[in-house]
Amino acid sequence: MWILKLIQDILSVPAILVGVVSFVGLVVQKKSFSEVISGSIKTILGFLILVAGAVTLIGSLNALGPMLETGFGIKGVVPNNEAIVAIAQKTLGKETALIMVFGFIVNILLALLTPFKFIWLTGHHSFYMAALISATLGTAGLSGIGLVIVGAIILGLMQVLMPAWIHPYMKKVTGSDEIALGHFGTLGYYVSGTIGKLVGNPEDSTENISFPRSLGFLRESIVATGITMIIVFLIASIAAGPSFVESKLSGGQNFLVYAIVQALTFAAGVGVVIYGVRMIISEIIPAFKGISDKIVPEAKPALDCPVTFPYAPNAVIIGFIFSFLGGILSMLIMPLFKLPVIIPGLVPHFFVGGTAGVIGNATGGKKGAILGSFVNGIIISFGAALLLPALGTLGFENTTFGDSDFQWLGILISLVAKLFK
C-alpha cells in the first residue's frame, strides 16, 4: 500500500509528475548528467512558481467572495473543486486513489495504441476527476473492483479525448503543435472557440487594444489587470461596508486600503503565474521530445489551463469578467427553472473563464473573447446545478464541481445509470 500511496502522491502533485516526465525524457535522449538535473529541477521549479501564483490569486479571490456575498446578499451553493473533493475523500479515498493510478496507466496505453497522442500532466485535475467518477459511479450502484475498473477506463479516456477535442483551437492559441491543453473545462473552451469563429475575427485581437497616449500604462497587461481588479475590489468592499471588512477580513486595516492591496496582490499573482508557465514551457518541450520519440511516438504533453495565459493576457481578464457576468445572470434566472441557486465561484470563473477568453480570442478576437467566455459562465453555472443530484449525499454539502467536464460527465454517468437501472 505504501508503494500505491507513493505513486498516488507523485501523480497528484503536478510539479513532481512533470519533473519525473522531464527527467525520463532527458534520460531517454541521453543528455548529460548536468542537463538532466538542470532540466528536471527547472521544470519542477516552474510548476512550483505557477502554484505559488495560483495560491496568491485564490487568496485574493477568497477575500473578494465574502465581500460580494455580504454586500449584495448573495446566498446559495458555491462551486469549489477542492472543497467537494476533500469531502468525497472521507468515504471514497481508496477508490479515488486506485482510479487515479490505473487511469494514468490507461492514458499511457491509449496514447501508445490509438491516434490520440496526449499524455495528461495536470495531476490535481486527474485527482479531482477520479473523485467525481468514484462519487457518481458509487451513487449509480457500483462498488469494489468493478467501480475501480470502470472508473480507471473512464478517466484514461477523458485524459486523451479532452485534449484531442480542444487541440485544433489550442493550436490557434499557441501557433504550434507542441503542447496540448489538459484541463477539465473542455466543453466551455470548445463552445467559446466555436462562438469566436461565428461572431468575430481573430485579427481583431484583445491584445491589439489601443490606448490613448495618456493611458499608455494600460498596454502593460499586469498594470491593466491591477487597475481592473482595484475597481472590482473597491466596489465589493464599499458594498460590504467598512465594519464587515475590517472586523471579518482585514484584521482592522482600513477597508479601502485592504481592497487595494488585495487587488494588487491578485495582479502580482497573475504575473507570477505567467512567469512560471514560461519557465515550464521552455523546459518541458525539449524534455518531452524524448518521450515522444522513444516511448510514445508523437506524444504531446497536456498541461494545465494557465499555460494559455501568456498568449493573450488581456483576454484572460476579459474572459474572467464576462464569465463571471454569465454566472451572475445564471444565478438570477435559476429560480425560474426551480434549480438550486449557484453562486458564481470566483476561482473557476477566473481560471476557466480566463482560458475561455483566450480561446475565444484566438478564433474570434475581442467579440469571441467576450461572448465565448460569457456563455462559458452560463454553462458552468447550470452544469453545477444539474450535477448536484448525481453526487448523491455529496450533493447536499453546499458545494459542487466548478468546471464543465466534471459536470457533464457526472450528469451523463447518472443518466446512463438510470437508463440501465
**Alpha-carbon distance 45 to 8, whole Å?**
20
| Predicted pLDDT of residue 247 | 94
Alpha helix segments (H runs only) across 241-254: 242-244
| Predicted pLDDT of residue 216 | 60
Q: What are phi and psi of 5, to 5 degrees?
A: -65, -40
| Predicted pLDDT of residue 122 | 86
User: How many C-beta neighbours within 10 Å does residue 22 have?
Assistant: 30
What are the structural domain ranges in the chain?
2-419
Instruction: Please report, in tens digits, the pLDDT of each residue of the chain (421 residues total).
Output: 777 777 777 766 767 877 887 888 888 888 899 999 998 999 889 878 877 888 888 888 788 888 988 998 766 677 878 777 777 767 777 788 788 878 988 999 999 999 999 999 887 888 889 989 998 898 888 888 999 999 999 999 999 999 999 999 999 999 999 899 999 999 999 999 999 999 989 999 998 877 666 666 656 767 877 888 899 899 999 999 999 999 999 999 999 999 999 999 988 988 888 788 778 777 777 776 677 677 788 889 999 999 999 999 899 989 999 999 999 999 999 989 988 888 887 888 989 999 999 999 999 999 999 999 999 999 999 999 999 888 876 655 567 899 999 999 999 998 998 888 6
292: cell is: 515522444
For the chain, give the number of residues: 421
Q: Hey, which bits of 234-307 come out as E strands?
A: 300-303
**Alpha-carbon distance 350 to 352, whole Å?**
6
Alpha helix segments (H runs only) across 29-140: 33-72, 81-113, 123-140
How does DSSP assign 296-331, residue by residue? Answer: STT-EEEE-GGGGGGG-HHHHHHHHHHHHHHHHHHH
- Residues contacting 187, CB < 8 A, separation 6+: 379, 383, 404, 405, 407, 408
